[in-house]
Amino acid sequence: MDPLEVVILAAGLGTRLDRPVPKTLTTLRSGETILERQLSGLRSVCGEQVRVAVVVGFKLELVMEAAPDAVFVYNERYDRTNTSKSLLKALRSTRPDAGVLWMNGDVVFDLEVLKRAVALAEDGRSGVLVNRSAVGEEEVTFTMSDDGAVDRLAKKVPGGLGEAVGINYVAAADKPALVRRLAQCEDQDYFERGIELTISEDGIRWSPQDIADLAAMEVDFEEDLEAVNRTFGRLG
C-alpha cells in the first residue's frame, strides 16, 4: 500500500448555499461543522497521524483557525478557478510516493464510506466513490467501459449510471498523469475533467466504488443541508 495523504477542497465561495462563512464551516444540527465531521472521520479511519491538506481561499483565516492541526494549501485564485486548479495545487504539495484520498469540503458521510475509500488505497487502485442508486440532475454522473472501469465522469453524462459523491483516490503511480491533466484543464473545469483526460489520454483505470447502501451527501443548496441534518443530525 502506498503511503496515504488526504486533501480537502475548501477554497470556494459557496455562493449557492449563501452563508457568510466558507461552506465547509457550515454547522450541522449535531453541533459540529462539516469540516469538523470530516476531520474526525478521517482520523478515526486513517489514523491520528494522517497528513490532511486543506485547500483554502475564501475567508481562509476562518478555516485555518478551525483546523489548526491540518496543513494548508492556498489557492490565491479561488474566486476565478474551480476544483481542478485547487486539486492541482494540493497534489503538487504531496509526497511523490503517496497515494491521495481527496474530497470536496462540503460532503457529509458515514465512516463506512471512508473505509471503502481506504480499501481502494489498500488495493493500489485509483477510484471514484459513486452512488449507483441515484442520478441527480445537478450531480456529477458516470458511465463505465466494458471492463467495468469509469469511462465518462461529468455533469449530465448521457446514460449516467449513478452519481459521483465527491470522494476519490489516486494511487501514487497514477498521480503524475492526473497532475499533468489537471494542469491542462480550463480554470473553470471541475477536477472530474482531469480524471476524464487521464482515462482518454493516459489509459488510467479508475474503479467505481459503489456506496449506494451508505450515506454520503454534498451540501450545495439549503435543501441539501436540510436533508443532511435529517440524515446525520443525531449522529456524533
Which pLDDT does position 155 carry in this prediction? Answer: 86
Tell me: the pLDDT tens digits for 182-209? 999 999 999 999 999 999 999 999 999 9
| pLDDT by residue, tens only, the chain of 236 residues | 899 999 999 999 888 887 889 999 999 999 999 999 999 999 999 999 999 999 999 999 999 999 999 999 999 999 999 999 999 999 999 999 999 999 999 999 999 999 999 999 999 999 999 999 877 666 899 999 999 999 999 988 889 999 999 999 999 999 999 999 999 999 999 999 999 999 999 999 999 999 999 999 999 899 999 999 999 865 44
Domains defined for the chain, CATH in brackets: 4-232 (3.90.550.10)
- State pLDDT tens for residues 40-79: 999 999 999 999 999 999 999 999 999 999 999 999 999 9
Q: Which of 60, 55, 53 is nearest to 21 (CA)?
A: 60
Alpha helices per DSSP H over the chain: 34-46, 60-66, 83-92, 111-123, 175-184, 191-202, 222-232
- pTM of the predicted structure, to 2 decimals: 0.95
CA-CA-CA-CA torsion sign (168, 134, 36, 39)? negative
What gap in Å lies between CA 83 and CA 172, rounded to an integer? 20
Q: List the Cα angle 166/172/174 in 5-degree steps.
A: 75
Angle made by CA atoms 66, 69, 74, in degrees to the nearest 5? 70
User: Rounded to the nearest 10 degrees, how much is the dihedral formed by the CA atoms of 26, 29, 34, 36?
Assistant: 110
